[in-house]
Amino acid sequence: MRSKVVVLDVADRRSAVTSPAEAALRATLSDALVPIALLGLDLEPLLFSQSWFDQAITSPVASSQKAAPLILSPDFADAARACLQSGAVETCRVEIAAGVKAHARWFSFELSPWPRDGSAYSRLIVVGREVTEAVLAARETEAARRQQAEQNARFDAALSNMPHGLCMFDAEKRLILCNTAYRRLYDLPEALCAPGTTLDAILDHRRRVGNGAKSLAAFYAATVEAGLSGGAATRDVELIDGRTIRITHNPIATGGYVATHEDVTEALRATAQIEFLAFRDPLTSLPNRAGFQRAYDDAVAAAEQTGEMFGLIMLDVDHFKDINDTLGHDAGDALLKALAGQLKRAFRATDTVARLGGDEFAIILRGLKEERDLTRPIEVLQGLLRSPIEHAGQSFTICASIGATIHEDPDADPTHLLKNADVALYQAKYDGRNRSVVFKPSMRTEVEKRVELLREVRLGISQGEFDLHYQPVVDLSTRTVAGFEALMRWNHPEQGILPPGAFMAAFEDNDLSLQLGEVAFERAMAQMRAWLDDGVAFGRVAINVSSSQFRTGRLASEIAEKLARWRVPADRLTIEVTENVYMGWGSDVVSDTVRQLHDTGVLIALDDFGTGYASLANLRQFPVDRLKIDKSFVQNREDDAIVRAVINLGSSMGMKVVAEGVEHPEQLAALAQYGCDQVQGYHFAKPMPAGEVAGFIDGFTTQG
Ligand code: C2E
Ligand code: CA
Ligand code: CA
């Protein structure tokens, strides 16, 4: 469409010019297809092209009515002035507010003065061109740029404020960027943080200032190489300065990698602390039961995977409870700590020595080849245990019972191993403690039987099924009854009268032996009271005392109490103690008790002499009144020399010697010849119920 030239009436009137040049100009402008305005020197509009209105730069109505100067914006006015002054073409950009058109638009105006023939300017030609799109595009890019800048600023802030070090290296291991934390973590000078710095330069610097990785090769293998070869990798790298840095490498698409560096020294220490609390025993610092379980599970898993053999040892300190009771908890703690030390020395660092609780320890031995690998360290341990432990000026030795077993069959139920070790431990205790036993399948049934027996004994005690029989002790020089030994019998409801051999396990059990001891004393005291009342000349009654009774530390006072309560003179009582009572730890408790008893007039007899390890040196420490030669020597003619030696030894130390197990007249004759003081045995009488004692004494006296 051809643009029409609109001539404004008013303007036309005011600026009526009739020069041919202007007429030609107007004609040219009227042909223009672009928005054009012709202005006078006061910027009053003289002519607009149709396109000017089509594009709604100004509205024709407003223009025609006012014919006021066309000032589209302050910039426009400035440009017009400058243009008329200098004659140069000026441009300016004007925003046309939304109005006729729904959106604001931008126009670029080119202002040129006219005429250009050297005469004074009388007109200003304004040519418009819509640049909305360009402006908007520019704005958009500007907005995008600003957004990017903001994003970058935020990213920078995040980077420099992040607690972890971050660095990015290209495929040639040249630094792309790193953050403040990274710089601080390794004490890097600013210069080394410039892009392009090589990783090696940074590592060199770090080694110089003393925070390099302990093993550079390991560091590379674990992290950098992994990051570069496309695999993400997280590793804890130890630094020379003692810190541990957790480094995570991630490959980036453009080659190279980004890595975060986190100082985890404290975190690891805290974890270790928690670990320690959860899995360690605070007293000994050994793994506790939970720690043991973990190690055990590991061993089982390894056995399943590789078929490796491993061993399990259970250790229980003998009579630990009594040590605590009599020597105090400090002594108990000291002993446990000392034992923990000895255990660590006896086993390899790769073995797990754990404290399961109280006086129970367990050891897991991995990678065993043969049973010797299990028994050898146990022997070492037993050697170590022999050396006494000093505590608060006292020295004592630990005895421990040890049960051991080997896990040979990877398919076997792993919990069996724990049970087997327990069974072996039980067997070790049963065999007299202070020894080690390696599990054999036959033990399991024995242990089961024993457990059943103990249950029955417990019941029997509560039912009053235990009583004493009495066996006479005859004085050889006078051929009179010197006294009786009280021997425990069980009136079993189904099996009849059972000797102690049938319930020996009960004497081995701490709790039950104390209960049986109580029964023996009460029965014997009551019996002596009755005999005293009836005028039966029973002499002395000897009561067997087990080591558990000694270890309570209360034995002397309890006996004194019973003697007083039953009004039985102390010189009517003998107590028989086996050698093992004197041995082992805590002999202070034993010697104090023995001395107190002895001082009140109770006789002390050392039972089963010759079968244990009692040495003369040991014997001298205690006030022993009687030595009882074990029947195994008396009944074996080959042991005559021993019997004679014991008799000589006894009399030289001022003790009377009693021979047990005399069954035959020849034995009696020999003993009499050797100078034995007293005898006891089936030759005179088997142990008898209390009711038969008075009759026996009467008969024996008349006979003698
Ligand atoms: P012990 O103290 O050595 O008692 C002597 C054992 O020898 C008794 O066995 C007795 O019956 C047996 N004996 C006596 N003379 C002869 C003989 O001529 N030939 C043979 N073959 N044996 C003879 P018993 O009564 O079966 O007692 C066994 C063990 O049980 C006792 O050995 C003692 O260690 C223990 N015991 C018995 N009663 C008690 C008790 O009340 N308390 C404690 N702690 N132990 C007891
Ligand atoms: Ca005895
Ligand atoms: Ca005996």
Distance CA 464, CA 311 (A): 44
* Average pLDDT over every residue of 482-486: 98
Question: Ligand 1 centroid to 205 CA: how many Å?
Answer: 85
Q: Are 576 and 485 in contact (CB under 8 A)?
A: yes
For the CA of 505, the nearest ligand:
1
Q: Is the CB of 507 under 6 A from ligand 1?
A: yes
| DSSP state for residue 172 in the 8-state scheme | T
Ramachandran sector of residue 49 (left: φ over 0; alpha: ψ -120 to 50; beta: rest): beta
Q: Are 419 and 380 in contact (CB under 8 A)?
A: no
| DSSP state for residue 608 in the 8-state scheme | E
Q: Is the CB of 681 under 6 A from ligand 1?
A: yes
Whether the pLDDT of residue 17 is over 60: the answer is: no
Distance CA 438, CA 379 (A): 12
For the CA of 605, the nearest ligand:
2
* Average pLDDT over every residue of 537-546: 96
Distance CA 47, CA 274 (A): 91
Whether the pLDDT of residue 8 is over 50: the answer is: no
Query: Out of 374-383, 618-627, 665-674, which region has the weakest mean confidence (pLDDT)?
Result: 618-627
| Predicted local confidence at residue 399, as pLDDT | 86
Distance CA 517, CA 546 (A): 7
Q: Is the CB of 50 under 6 A from ligand 1?
A: no
The neighbourhood of ligand 2, an ion, using CB within 5 A, equals 544, 576, 607
| Predicted local confidence at residue 5, as pLDDT | 47
Whether the pLDDT of residue 10 is over 50: the answer is: no
pLDDT digits (tens, 9 = 90+) for 118-172: 888 989 999 999 999 999 999 899 999 999 999 888 888 888 888 899 999 998 9
**pLDDT tier, 14 (very low <50, low <70, confident <90, very high otherwise):** very low
Distant-in-sequence, close-in-space partners of 578: CB < 8 Å, separation ≥ 6: 547, 606, 607, 608, 612
Whether the pLDDT of residue 12 is over 50: the answer is: no
Question: Pick the residue with more confidence: 80 or 703?
Answer: 80
Distant-in-sequence, close-in-space partners of 258: CB < 8 Å, separation ≥ 6: 166, 167, 168, 249, 250, 252
Q: Are 107 and 51 in contact (CB under 8 A)?
A: no
CB atoms within 10 A of CB 367: 15
Question: Ligand 1 centroid to 214 CA: how many Å?
Answer: 71
Distance CA 284, CA 340 (A): 6
Residue type, 611: T
For the CA of 575, the nearest ligand:
2
Question: Ligand 3 centroid to 631 CA: how many Å?
Answer: 7
**pLDDT tier, 64 (very low <50, low <70, confident <90, very high otherwise):** low
Q: Is the CB of 90 under 6 A from ligand 1?
A: no
Q: Is the CB of 359 under 6 A from ligand 1?
A: no
Q: Is the CB of 181 under 6 A from ligand 1?
A: no
Quickly list DSSP for 247-264: EEEEE-TTSSEEEEEEE-
Distance CA 647, CA 657 (A): 6
* Average pLDDT over every residue of 17-26: 79
Q: Is the CB of 682 under 6 A from ligand 1?
A: yes
With residue 403 as reference, give the H or E element that holds it.
Answer: strand 400-407
Q: Is the CB of 35 under 6 A from ligand 1?
A: no
Best CA proximity match to 289, nearest among 340, 244, 354: 354
Probe residue for ligand 1, chosen from 660, 683, 684 as the CB with the greatest number of ligand atoms within 8 Å? 660
Question: Ligand 2 centroid to 460 CA: how many Å?
Answer: 22
Q: Are 666 and 636 in contact (CB under 8 A)?
A: no
Ligand 1, atom 3, lies closest to the CA of: 608
User: In order of start, what are the domains of the chain with their CATH numbers?
Assistant: 5-130 (3.30.450.20), 162-268 (3.30.450.20), 283-439 (3.30.70.270), 465-698 (3.20.20.450)
pTM of the model: 0.55
pLDDT digits (tens, 9 = 90+) for 564-599: 999 999 999 999 988 777 664 456 777 788 889 999
CB atoms within 10 A of CB 386: 10
Probe residue for ligand 1, chosen from 484, 544, 630, 678 as the CB with the greatest number of ligand atoms within 8 Å? 544
Distance CA 281, CA 353 (A): 11
Question: Ligand 2 centroid to 630 CA: how many Å?
Answer: 9
Distance CA 155, CA 16 (A): 66
| Predicted local confidence at residue 61, as pLDDT | 58
Q: Are 38 and 125 in contact (CB under 8 A)?
A: yes
| Predicted local confidence at residue 387, as pLDDT | 83
For the CA of 680, the nearest ligand:
1
67: Cα separation from own chain's centroid: 95
For the CA of 473, the nearest ligand:
1
Distant-in-sequence, close-in-space partners of 203: CB < 8 Å, separation ≥ 6: 212, 213, 216
Question: Ligand 2 centroid to 490 CA: how many Å?
Answer: 17
**pLDDT tier, 665 (very low <50, low <70, confident <90, very high otherwise):** very high
Ligand 1, atom 34, lies closest to the CA of: 544
Question: Ligand 3 centroid to 390 CA: how many Å?
Answer: 34
Distance CA 460, CA 365 (A): 42
Whether the pLDDT of residue 1 is over 70: the answer is: no
Question: Ligand 3 centroid to 325 CA: how many Å?
Answer: 29
* Ligand 1 atom closest to the CA of 682, numbered from 1: 18
Whether the pLDDT of residue 295 is over 50: the answer is: yes
* Ligand 1 atom closest to the CA of 683, numbered from 1: 18
With residue 488 as reference, give the H or E element that holds it.
Answer: strand 480-492
Distance CA 388, CA 204 (A): 56
Q: Is the CB of 663 under 6 A from ligand 1?
A: yes
* Average pLDDT over every residue of 10-27: 66
**pLDDT tier, 7 (very low <50, low <70, confident <90, very high otherwise):** very low
Whether the pLDDT of residue 618 is over 90: the answer is: no
**pLDDT tier, 202 (very low <50, low <70, confident <90, very high otherwise):** very high
Whether the pLDDT of residue 15 is over 70: the answer is: no
| Predicted local confidence at residue 291, as pLDDT | 93
ω into 115 cis (within 30 of 0) = yes
**Tokens 């009004």 — which residue?**
567
Q: What is the mean pLDDT of the chain?
A: 88
Distance CA 485, CA 383 (A): 39
Alpha-carbon distances of 533 from 538, 539, 541, 566, 567, rounded to whole Å? 12, 14, 15, 11, 11
For the CA of 630, the nearest ligand:
3
Q: Are 507 and 580 in contact (CB under 8 A)?
A: no
Ligand 1, atom 4, lies closest to the CA of: 487
pLDDT digits (tens, 9 = 90+) for 75-91: 999 999 999 999 999 99
* Ligand 1 atom closest to the CA of 507, numbered from 1: 44
For the CA of 522, the nearest ligand:
1
Ligand 1, atom 13, lies closest to the CA of: 661
Probe residue for ligand 1, chosen from 488, 497, 521, 668 as the CB with the greatest number of ligand atoms within 8 Å? 488
Question: Ligand 3 centroid to 615 CA: how many Å?
Answer: 17
* Average pLDDT over every residue of 681-698: 97
| Predicted local confidence at residue 2, as pLDDT | 42
Quickly list DSSP for 283-351: TT-SB-HHHHHHHHHHHHHHHHHH--EEEEEEEEETTHHHHHHHH-HHHHHHHHHHHHHHHHHHS-TTS
**pLDDT tier, 16 (very low <50, low <70, confident <90, very high otherwise):** low
State whether residue 57 is helix, strand or coil: coil
Q: Is the CB of 471 under 6 A from ligand 1?
A: yes
Q: Assign 3-class secondary structure to 173-199.
A: CEEEEECHHHHHHHCCCHHHHCCCCEH
**pLDDT tier, 613 (very low <50, low <70, confident <90, very high otherwise):** low
The maximal CA–CA distance of the chain, rounded, in angstroms, is: 184
Whether the pLDDT of residue 364 is over 70: the answer is: yes
Whether the pLDDT of residue 4 is over 50: the answer is: no
Q: What percent of the chain has pLDDT over 90?
A: 56
Q: Is the CB of 313 under 6 A from ligand 1?
A: no
Question: Ligand 2 centroid to 576 CA: how many Å?
Answer: 6
Query: Out of 107-111, 230-234, 259-263, 698-702, which region has the weakest mean confidence (pLDDT)?
Result: 230-234
Distance CA 379, CA 102 (A): 102
Residue type, 422: D
For the CA of 507, the nearest ligand:
1
Q: What percent of the chain has pLDDT over 70?
A: 93
pLDDT digits (tens, 9 = 90+) for 212-245: 888 877 777 667 777 677 778 888 889 999 999 9
Q: Are 403 and 417 in contact (CB under 8 A)?
A: no
Question: Ligand 3 centroid to 664 CA: how many Å?
Answer: 18
Q: Are 630 and 611 in contact (CB under 8 A)?
A: yes
Phi, psi dihedral angles at 213 (to 5 degrees): -70, 145
Alpha helices in 67-179, H assignment, sequence order: 74-86, 132-161
Distance CA 117, CA 156 (A): 60
Q: Which two tokens stand for residue 514?
A: 């104390």
Q: Are 402 and 435 in contact (CB under 8 A)?
A: yes
In sequence order, the β-bridge partners of residue 679 are 474, 659
Query: Out of 15-29, 321-335, 503-517, which region has the weakest mean confidence (pLDDT)?
Result: 15-29
| Predicted local confidence at residue 18, as pLDDT | 60
Q: Are 84 and 74 in contact (CB under 8 A)?
A: no
Q: Where are the beta strands (DSSP E) in 479-617?
A: 480-492, 496-498, 540-545, 573-578, 603-609
